[in-house]
Amino acid sequence: MTEKRQLTFALAKGRLAENAVEILEQCGVDCAPLKEQTRKLVLFDADRKYRFIFVKPADVPTYIERGVADIGVVGKDTLLEESKDIYEMLDLKFGACRMCVAGFSSKEESITHSTLRVASKYVHIAKDYYAAKGIDVDIVKLTGSVELGPIIGLTDIIVDIVESGKTLEANGLVVLEEICKLSARLVVNKVSLKTRHREIMPLIDKIAKVVEMK
Ligand code: PRP
Protein backbone atom coordinates (compact mmCIF):
# COMPACT_ATOMS: atom_id res chain seq x y z
CA MET A 1 0.00 0.00 0.00
CA THR A 2 1.36 3.43 -0.88
CA GLU A 3 1.94 5.72 2.07
CA LYS A 4 -0.30 8.80 2.22
CA ARG A 5 1.70 11.95 1.45
CA GLN A 6 2.08 14.72 3.98
CA LEU A 7 -0.64 17.30 4.28
CA THR A 8 0.70 19.98 1.95
CA PHE A 9 0.52 23.74 2.35
CA ALA A 10 0.91 26.13 -0.58
CA LEU A 11 1.87 29.53 0.79
CA ALA A 12 2.02 32.74 -1.22
CA LYS A 13 5.52 34.20 -1.32
CA GLY A 14 5.85 37.89 -0.57
CA ARG A 15 3.86 40.20 1.63
CA LEU A 16 1.56 37.51 3.13
CA ALA A 17 4.21 34.89 3.89
CA GLU A 18 5.39 36.09 7.30
CA ASN A 19 1.88 36.36 8.77
CA ALA A 20 0.88 33.01 7.30
CA VAL A 21 3.83 31.29 8.98
CA GLU A 22 3.10 33.09 12.26
CA ILE A 23 -0.52 31.84 12.30
CA LEU A 24 0.52 28.26 11.53
CA GLU A 25 3.08 28.41 14.35
CA GLN A 26 0.42 29.63 16.76
CA CYS A 27 -1.60 26.56 15.80
CA GLY A 28 1.25 24.28 16.82
CA VAL A 29 2.65 23.63 13.34
CA ASP A 30 6.46 23.48 13.49
CA CYS A 31 7.52 26.22 11.08
CA ALA A 32 11.23 26.47 12.05
CA PRO A 33 12.42 25.04 8.69
CA LEU A 34 10.40 27.75 6.90
CA LYS A 35 12.43 30.50 8.52
CA GLU A 36 15.81 29.23 7.37
CA GLN A 37 17.51 30.83 4.38
CA THR A 38 17.27 28.21 1.68
CA ARG A 39 16.71 27.83 -2.05
CA LYS A 40 14.80 24.60 -1.48
CA LEU A 41 11.32 24.70 -2.93
CA VAL A 42 9.81 21.90 -0.85
CA LEU A 43 10.16 22.01 2.92
CA PHE A 44 9.02 19.77 5.78
CA ASP A 45 8.44 20.19 9.50
CA ALA A 46 10.78 18.26 11.84
CA ASP A 47 8.34 15.33 12.17
CA ARG A 48 7.71 15.29 8.43
CA LYS A 49 4.01 15.53 9.16
CA TYR A 50 3.56 18.54 6.90
CA ARG A 51 4.99 19.59 3.56
CA PHE A 52 5.26 23.24 2.51
CA ILE A 53 5.74 24.93 -0.82
CA PHE A 54 6.22 28.67 -1.26
CA VAL A 55 4.95 29.76 -4.64
CA LYS A 56 4.08 32.94 -6.52
CA PRO A 57 0.70 34.19 -5.20
CA ALA A 58 -1.04 33.69 -8.55
CA ASP A 59 -0.02 30.02 -8.55
CA VAL A 60 -1.45 29.12 -5.12
CA PRO A 61 -5.01 28.52 -6.43
CA THR A 62 -3.60 26.33 -9.22
CA TYR A 63 -1.69 24.04 -6.84
CA ILE A 64 -4.77 23.79 -4.62
CA GLU A 65 -7.23 23.17 -7.44
CA ARG A 66 -5.02 20.45 -8.92
CA GLY A 67 -4.77 18.77 -5.51
CA VAL A 68 -0.98 18.70 -5.20
CA ALA A 69 -1.41 20.99 -2.21
CA ASP A 70 -4.27 20.64 0.27
CA ILE A 71 -4.33 23.96 2.12
CA GLY A 72 -3.26 27.37 0.91
CA VAL A 73 -2.86 30.93 2.08
CA VAL A 74 -3.39 33.57 -0.57
CA GLY A 75 -4.85 37.04 -1.04
CA LYS A 76 -8.49 37.56 -2.00
CA ASP A 77 -7.20 39.61 -4.96
CA THR A 78 -5.58 36.48 -6.38
CA LEU A 79 -8.69 34.38 -5.72
CA LEU A 80 -10.89 36.88 -7.56
CA GLU A 81 -8.45 37.09 -10.45
CA GLU A 82 -7.80 33.37 -10.84
CA SER A 83 -11.34 32.10 -10.02
CA LYS A 84 -10.37 28.47 -9.48
CA ASP A 85 -12.61 25.67 -8.24
CA ILE A 86 -11.44 25.58 -4.61
CA TYR A 87 -12.96 26.22 -1.19
CA GLU A 88 -12.34 29.56 0.51
CA MET A 89 -12.59 28.55 4.16
CA LEU A 90 -11.51 31.52 6.27
CA ASP A 91 -10.80 35.22 6.17
CA LEU A 92 -7.42 35.36 7.93
CA LYS A 93 -7.83 39.12 8.47
CA PHE A 94 -4.21 40.04 7.71
CA GLY A 95 -2.88 41.64 4.54
CA ALA A 96 -5.81 44.03 4.54
CA CYS A 97 -5.93 46.26 1.49
CA ARG A 98 -8.35 47.46 -1.18
CA MET A 99 -8.81 46.85 -4.89
CA CYS A 100 -9.15 50.31 -6.37
CA VAL A 101 -9.39 52.33 -9.53
CA ALA A 102 -6.72 55.02 -9.36
CA GLY A 103 -5.48 57.80 -11.58
CA PHE A 104 -4.93 61.53 -11.66
CA SER A 105 -7.49 63.50 -9.68
CA SER A 106 -8.23 65.59 -12.77
CA LYS A 107 -9.35 62.42 -14.59
CA GLU A 108 -11.97 63.99 -16.87
CA GLU A 109 -9.60 66.56 -18.37
CA SER A 110 -6.87 64.06 -19.13
CA ILE A 111 -9.10 61.65 -21.09
CA THR A 112 -9.50 62.75 -24.67
CA HIS A 113 -10.55 59.48 -26.33
CA SER A 114 -13.71 57.39 -26.16
CA THR A 115 -12.46 54.07 -24.74
CA LEU A 116 -11.05 54.21 -21.24
CA ARG A 117 -7.59 52.61 -21.06
CA VAL A 118 -6.90 50.66 -17.89
CA ALA A 119 -3.57 49.20 -16.77
CA SER A 120 -3.72 46.29 -14.35
CA LYS A 121 -2.16 43.08 -13.10
CA TYR A 122 -5.78 42.08 -12.44
CA VAL A 123 -7.27 41.98 -15.92
CA HIS A 124 -10.22 39.76 -15.01
CA ILE A 125 -11.18 41.86 -12.00
CA ALA A 126 -10.92 45.03 -14.11
CA LYS A 127 -12.90 43.47 -16.98
CA ASP A 128 -15.69 42.25 -14.67
CA TYR A 129 -15.86 45.57 -12.85
CA TYR A 130 -16.31 47.63 -16.00
CA ALA A 131 -18.56 45.06 -17.67
CA ALA A 132 -20.92 45.32 -14.67
CA LYS A 133 -20.96 49.08 -15.13
CA GLY A 134 -21.52 48.76 -18.88
CA ILE A 135 -18.38 50.74 -19.63
CA ASP A 136 -16.22 49.81 -22.60
CA VAL A 137 -12.54 49.60 -21.61
CA ASP A 138 -9.22 48.75 -23.18
CA ILE A 139 -7.35 46.73 -20.57
CA VAL A 140 -3.56 46.67 -20.73
CA LYS A 141 -2.00 43.85 -18.72
CA LEU A 142 1.12 44.78 -16.77
CA THR A 143 2.95 42.56 -14.30
CA GLY A 144 4.17 45.24 -11.88
CA SER A 145 4.71 48.98 -11.30
CA VAL A 146 1.22 49.46 -12.69
CA GLU A 147 1.18 53.09 -11.51
CA LEU A 148 3.44 53.90 -14.45
CA GLY A 149 0.47 53.40 -16.81
CA PRO A 150 -1.14 56.84 -16.39
CA ILE A 151 2.15 58.57 -15.56
CA ILE A 152 3.81 57.60 -18.81
CA GLY A 153 0.62 57.92 -20.88
CA LEU A 154 0.11 54.21 -21.55
CA THR A 155 -3.33 54.25 -19.93
CA ASP A 156 -5.79 56.66 -18.33
CA ILE A 157 -6.21 54.83 -15.05
CA ILE A 158 -5.18 51.69 -13.17
CA VAL A 159 -6.96 48.93 -11.28
CA ASP A 160 -4.64 47.80 -8.50
CA ILE A 161 -4.33 47.01 -4.83
CA VAL A 162 -3.85 49.91 -2.43
CA GLU A 163 -2.48 49.12 1.00
CA SER A 164 -0.88 52.15 2.64
CA GLY A 165 -1.56 54.42 -0.35
CA LYS A 166 2.09 55.48 -0.37
CA THR A 167 2.84 54.27 -3.90
CA LEU A 168 -0.08 56.27 -5.30
CA GLU A 169 0.87 59.34 -3.29
CA ALA A 170 4.53 59.18 -4.31
CA ASN A 171 3.43 59.12 -7.94
CA GLY A 172 0.80 61.87 -7.81
CA LEU A 173 -2.15 59.50 -8.20
CA VAL A 174 -5.31 59.15 -6.11
CA VAL A 175 -7.98 56.52 -5.48
CA LEU A 176 -10.92 57.26 -7.77
CA GLU A 177 -13.16 54.29 -6.86
CA GLU A 178 -12.97 51.39 -4.44
CA ILE A 179 -13.86 48.05 -6.04
CA CYS A 180 -13.66 45.82 -2.95
CA LYS A 181 -11.84 45.14 0.28
CA LEU A 182 -9.19 42.40 0.35
CA SER A 183 -7.29 40.27 2.86
CA ALA A 184 -5.54 36.91 3.11
CA ARG A 185 -7.73 33.81 2.84
CA LEU A 186 -7.33 30.16 3.78
CA VAL A 187 -8.20 27.92 0.86
CA VAL A 188 -8.59 24.15 0.63
CA ASN A 189 -8.72 21.59 -2.15
CA LYS A 190 -12.26 20.23 -2.54
CA VAL A 191 -11.30 16.55 -2.58
CA SER A 192 -8.83 16.92 0.32
CA LEU A 193 -11.55 18.42 2.48
CA LYS A 194 -13.54 15.20 2.05
CA THR A 195 -10.75 12.62 2.09
CA ARG A 196 -8.56 14.26 4.76
CA HIS A 197 -11.35 15.84 6.75
CA ARG A 198 -10.05 14.53 10.08
CA GLU A 199 -6.64 16.15 9.54
CA ILE A 200 -7.83 19.37 7.94
CA MET A 201 -10.86 20.39 10.00
CA PRO A 202 -9.15 20.47 13.44
CA LEU A 203 -6.39 22.58 11.91
CA ILE A 204 -8.89 24.99 10.37
CA ASP A 205 -10.72 25.25 13.72
CA LYS A 206 -7.43 26.11 15.42
CA ILE A 207 -6.58 28.70 12.77
CA ALA A 208 -10.06 30.24 13.12
CA LYS A 209 -9.54 30.57 16.89
CA VAL A 210 -6.11 32.18 16.45
CA VAL A 211 -7.60 34.66 13.95
CA GLU A 212 -10.48 35.45 16.34
CA MET A 213 -8.10 36.17 19.21
CA LYS A 214 -6.01 38.66 17.21
C1 PRP B 1 1.66 46.58 -4.86
C2 PRP B 1 0.59 47.27 -5.68
C3 PRP B 1 0.96 48.72 -5.53
C4 PRP B 1 1.51 48.78 -4.11
C5 PRP B 1 0.46 49.26 -3.16
O6 PRP B 1 2.79 46.42 -5.62
O7 PRP B 1 0.60 46.81 -7.01
O8 PRP B 1 1.92 49.09 -6.47
O9 PRP B 1 1.88 47.45 -3.75
O10 PRP B 1 0.97 49.36 -1.85
P11 PRP B 1 0.89 50.70 -1.02
O12 PRP B 1 -0.51 51.22 -1.12
O13 PRP B 1 1.23 50.26 0.40
O14 PRP B 1 1.90 51.65 -1.56
P15 PRP B 1 3.99 45.50 -5.17
O16 PRP B 1 4.71 46.10 -4.01
O17 PRP B 1 3.48 44.13 -4.92
O18 PRP B 1 4.98 45.55 -6.38
P19 PRP B 1 4.74 45.53 -7.97
O20 PRP B 1 4.39 46.93 -8.37
O21 PRP B 1 6.03 45.11 -8.54
O22 PRP B 1 3.63 44.57 -8.27
DSSP 115-157: SEEEEES-HHHHHHHHHHHT--EEEEE-SS-TTHHHHHTS-SE
pLDDT at res. 162: 98
CA 10 to chain centre: 12
- Looking at residue 72, its pLDDT comes to 97
What distance in angstroms lies between residue 120's CA and the mean position of ligand 1's atoms? 11
Task: Give the least confident one: 80-94, 103-117, 143-157, 183-197.
Answer: 103-117
CA of 83 to the centre of ligand 1 (A): 21
Write the CB contacts of 111 (distance below 8 Å, at least 6 apart in sequence): 156
**What is the model's pLDDT at position 81?**
98
Distances from the Cα of 166 to the Cα of 22, 58, 171, angstroms:
26, 23, 9
- Is 143 near ligand 1, meaning CB less than 6 Å away? no
Backbone angles phi, psi at 165, to 5 degrees: 90, 0
Q: How many helices (H) and strands (E) does the chain have?
A: 9, 11
Whole-number pLDDT of residue 51: 96
What number does the ligand 1 atom closest to the CA of 145 have? 20
Average pLDDT, the chain: 94
Cα 213 from Cα 27, distance rounded (Å): 12
Residue 108's pLDDT is 58
pLDDT band with cut points at 50, 70 and 90 for residue 114: confident
Question: Could you give the strand order of the β-sheet that contains 71-75, starting from the edge strand earlier in sequence?
Answer: 42-44, 50-55, 7-12, 71-75, 184-188, 87-91
163 lines ligand 1 (CB under 6 A): yes
Which residues are 185's β-sheet partners?
A: 74, 91
What pLDDT band is residue 55 in, cutting at 50, 70 and 90? very high
Ligand 1 center–CA 165 separation, angstroms: 9
For ligand 1, atom 21, the nearest C-alpha belongs to: 144
Cβ atoms of residues 187 and 87 within 8 Å: yes
Confidence of residue 135 (pLDDT cuts 50, 70, 90): very high
pLDDT for 3? 67
Cα(171) to centroid(ligand 1), Å: 12
| Nearest CA residue ID for atom 1, ligand 1 | 161
Q: Is the distance from the beta carbon of residue 165 to the nearest atom of ligand 1 less than 6 Å?
A: yes
Q: What is the pLDDT of residue 1?
A: 53
